[in-house]
A and B are shown apart, each in its own frame.
Chain A
Amino acid sequence: MTPPVPAPFARRSFLAGLGAIGAGALLAACSEGTSGSSDAAPAAPTPHPGPPTTGTPVRGGTLRVGVLSGGSAEVLDPAKASAWPDWPRIRALYDPLFRTVPGGIEPALAESAEAEDTAASWVFRLRRGVEWHDGRPFTADDVLYTLGLWAGEGHNYGPTAQAVIDFAGVRKLDSHTVRIPLLRPMAEFPSLTANFNALIVQDGATDFERPVGTGAFAYASFEPGRSSTFTAHRDHWGGEGRHVDELVFDSSFTDDAARANALRSGALDIVSDLSYTQAAILADDGDVVIGNSPGMAFQAFVMQVDQPPFDDVRVRQALKLLVDRPAMVSQTLAGYGTVGNDLVGKTLPHYAEDLTRERDVERARSLLREAGHEGLRLTLATNTGRVGFVEAATLFAQQAAEGGVEISVRKIDPGQWDAQRANEPLNMASWAGSASLTYFYATALGGDARNSETHWPAERGRDLLADAMGELDEAAAEEKWRAVQRQQFDEGGYIVFANRNYVDGYAPAVRGVTTDASGSTNNYDYSRAWLAS
């Protein structure tokens, strides 16, 4: 499946052990006694959009964005994008059919999408008057060509699209209308087109070293692992944008502190996906504005439900009851987050806010006793490259010990993580960027889900899920999604212990970009950015 945008890489570093979060977690753990409460936690940082949203836009200037390096693997091709700095770059060059906004999506290259009868087929009406960077008009042929790429080999969005779209039936109805039939009804299908790997490329495009897009910025130069320069696409359909002349991405940073210093010294205007350690430091700096918003991004422990001992639902329930969630948020995310309740999709439509779980060590003990797993010993695999992962694993080991479960933490380097985690019955996950529950559940739990992290069996709840995904009636959909989430809440393999906030740093002059529930820096949409003098 296509990534939802993966979680930011922590600076895996020499500094990590001494990072404020790590040290904070240690100190708090020491001072906490046995209650496991989070009394000692610092006051949680308050959500804030960041830059002011008032003022009259001024044209001109260069917007400089700092991202952590993805090295030689960085690309400008939506089909291949997977390194961290790829997302903001391709989002600047290309547009999606629908774009992510707080709580859902809004039309971008599509003007509308209508479900035909059962939502098993969709008619996309495309925006007219849109120009590619080379001056050619945007038409249905571009969409058909892009869909053709999804249907083929080697496209990162292919597996997701191929599980959903009936490619044989895709038809151009006229120059700006396309019918897309699906393999099964999906009421929130347009939200799947908001994925970054699903950005629309030009009919016949094969050269992604000098890409031509419809995006608010056009290609000028690119050096993988170093930097890129894009110039404003003055005829961008967005109209309101086009304020800055130039957009520069500097992806030469390997250390988040250096990136934060670059912002403080005025060498950068935006640092997206700031580490919480640096955010806490920058929050005290009067020359920097911090944006901080809750969203659907989550941190979770993942149990593979077909592997012992997690094939016993009581063990899964016991582990969920052992987590001290407030402590997780305050100590592994420095307060930049909210407690998770083992469900994914906070802030998205149909998310079941009322299902919440509190720690209950006694109940956990008795469940384990019933299951014959007293004195359970587990290994928890964690990725040293992800924000807060090692801290969370270490803290969970302490918390689980209070319930008689002995957890040893296995640290895995980011380069080995994707290859090795499949063999780890208890591991960790972090997602961001899903625009709907359909997107997450279809890719993570659906019958043919390729990213089935929990190994949730295809037949279990398949009908529940298909029912919910296909329901066009809002009220009925709410009920059906509740049933899906209830099942996951009770039996699923995700221990979602926290929802992590999106946190970005801005120079005081930045306008037209904020941090909201859609993702870091408006989900990397810089089309409206301008610089106050």
Chain B
Amino acid sequence: MTARPQLPPLARFLLARLAGGAFTLLLAATLVFLATNVLPGDIAHAVLGANATPELVASVRADLGLDEPPHRRYLDFIGGLLTGDLGNSSAALAQGNVLPVADVIGTPLRNTAVLAAITFALFVPLCLVLAGVAASRVGGTVDRLLSGGTIAAAAFPEFLVATVLISVFFDALDWLPPLAAVPEGRTPLDDPLALVMPVTTLLVLCVATGFRLVRAAAVEVLAEPYVDWARLNGVPEATVLRRYVLRNALAPAVQAFAEVARYLFGGVIVVEAVFAFPGIGGLLVRGISVNDVQQTCVIATVLAVLYWAINTLADLAVIRLVPRLRTEASR
């Protein structure tokens, strides 16, 4: 008896996720298209403003293909996405200019990715250390301080944290610039000092969210019998924490990290605006404010792709971390 050539379980998992992902993304793109096309008002009015005569509006709408039936436009949009043609900014087109969305979103997407990566790279170790410290001293002063502090911090809106940071580190101390604008042709990394406050603002909120989830997981693991066994067997405390507690608490922690990663890509609109950081969130807001249908649809779809990628990566990480799931994934 010969077995059919069998893919490794992980590959099969990935394939399944890709198939599911493709369906999810199609759904997301469809919803985004519907939402932006159903909104009252249109790009022609938004761009022409007080100058909109019925004739001008009609000619702009024709230029934009808005006089085509909706199903036609939908197929064009989805077809474009599938073939990698992201189309042209509707707002620019309405003004008679051709501005490919691919050109518009490149730099902001990179900038947001840089900001997100730096924040995430600092967030993970910081969160693990703080949660580990708090969990190993449950109910102690340090734990209560950290828990109380993060609950309070989680309640602060981003702009409040940002404003407080600006008034301390710019107004009072004048150590840091209050904005993180990135000049043409430069990258955010060219001026690291300018990134300090945006990254700190994001860190405060990320740690506030992540800390509680990771701490709770660690506390649970610490109460497991195998941890007691390890200790009773004389395994050094540092090794207990690293090998038994951290390893087992990581699986739930990864989901918390994924949530933070999603936030860092899609939810940083406020932080970008406050520090004038040229990222994808600000671009999304500007597009929506002038009913730039194509740009808005593309950015939203790109964000959906990123969310899906983050979720898949997180699931993969969990499978790696929890041996039991590795075999389940192959069933």
Contacts and interface: CB of A to CB of B under 8 A. Distances in A.
Partners in one complex: yes
Interface stretch (A10-18, A94-102, A108-116, A321-329): A10-18
A254 B270 CA distance: 10
Contacts of A153: 55-56, 59
Contact of A267 (B55, B177, B278, B289): B177
Contacts of B96: 75, 77, 80, 154
Contact of B276 (A12, A75, A255): A255
Nearest to A15: B159
Contacts of A259: 276
Nearest to A418: B45
A1 interface: yes
A54 interface: no
Interface in A246-298: 250, 252-255, 257-259, 261-262, 264-265, 267
A403 to B, nearest CB: 31
A419 B45 contact: yes
B51 A71 contact: no
B170 interface: yes
Nearest to A229: B184
A56 interface: no
B39 interface: yes
A77 to B, nearest CB: 8
B276 A253 contact: yes
Interface stretch (A135-143, A218-226, A351-359): A218-226
Interface in B246-278: 270, 272-276, 278
B98 to A, nearest CB: 10
A3 B278 CA distance: 29
A258 B179 contact: yes
B276 A73 contact: no
B291 A415 contact: yes
Contacts of A82: 47-51
A288 to B, nearest CB: 12
Given A73-B290, A415-B289, A418-B41, A159 B53 contact: yes
Interface in B29-67: 39-42, 45-53, 55-56, 59
Nearest to B101: A72
B170 A261 contact: yes
Nearest to B282: A254
Contacts of B166: 261
B292 interface: yes
Interface in A189-218: 209
Given A70-B290, A80-B96, A258-B274, A419 B41 contact: yes
Contact of B59 (A154, A209, A223): A154
Main secondary structure of the interface of B (DSSP, over half): helix
A416 B39 contact: yes
B89 interface: yes
Given A154-B56, A224-B97, A418-B41, A258 B292 contact: no
A71 B49 contact: no
Nearest to B171: A264
A414 interface: yes
Contact of B41 (A225, A264, A420): A420
A14 B161 CA distance: 14
A177 interface: no
Residue from A72, A224, A415, A450 having most chain B Cβ neighbours under 10 A:
A72
B99 A224 contact: yes
Contact of A75 (B59, B97, B283): B97
Interface of B: 39-42, 45-53, 55-56, 59, 89, 91-92, 94-97, 99, 104, 157, 159, 163, 166, 170, 177-179, 181, 183-184, 270, 272-276, 278, 282-283, 285-292, 295
25 contacts: A6-B50, A12-B289, A15-B159, A70-B290, A71-B91, A71-B292, A72-B91, A72-B287, A73-B47, A73-B92, A75-B97, A153-B55, A153-B56, A154-B56, A250-B181, A261-B166, A261-B170, A262-B179, A264-B170, A385-B289, A415-B39, A418-B46, A418-B50, A418-B52, A419-B40
Given A227-B183, A267-B179, A414-B46, 7 more contacts: A72-B286, A72-B295, A73-B91, A221-B184, A252-B181, A262-B179, A418-B41
A-B interface, 3 closest residue pairs, ranked by CB to CB distance from nearest: A416-B41, A71-B286, A261-B178
